């Protein structure tokens, strides 16, 4: 599976969109159309490895907000430090 996942992550990285990959998920930040174009291309990259693709998608849609990949973590760390 890691080869298929690697191809999907390559697509995300090549997109130029802000992103973060961890052990279980890849998070992408951007406008709706540009993010979904990357999701589609990454899904197609995985599909080349077999007849089935499993995709988990979660969206946090907040008009006017950018930089939340880091912003959410910064607010979390601040809350931890203040407690």
Q: Per residue in 32-50, pLDDT tens?
A: 999 999 999 999 999 999 9
**60 vs 49: CA distance, rounded Å:** 29
What would the CATH number be for the domain defined by 2-82?
A: 3.30.70.930
Query: What pLDDT digit, counting tens, does each position of 53-77 carry?
Result: 999 999 998 888 888 888 888 999 9
- Residue 83 pLDDT > 90, yes or no? no
Using alpha carbons only, give the angle 18, 19, 23 rounded to the nearest 5 degrees. Answer: 170
Instruction: Give the pTM.
Output: 0.85
Supply the pLDDT for residue 8: 97
Supply the pLDDT for residue 47: 97
């Amino acid at each position: 599976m890691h080869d298929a996942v690697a191809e999907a992550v390559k697509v995300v990285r090549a997109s130029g969109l802000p992103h973060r990959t961890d052990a279980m998920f890849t998070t992408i930040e951007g406008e709706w159309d540009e993010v979904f174009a990357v999701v589609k291309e990454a899904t197609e990259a995985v599909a080349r490895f077999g007849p089935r693709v499993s995709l988990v998608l979660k969206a946090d849609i907040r008009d006017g907000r950018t930089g939340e990949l880091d912003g959410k973590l910064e607010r979390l760390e601040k809350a931890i430090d203040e407690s």
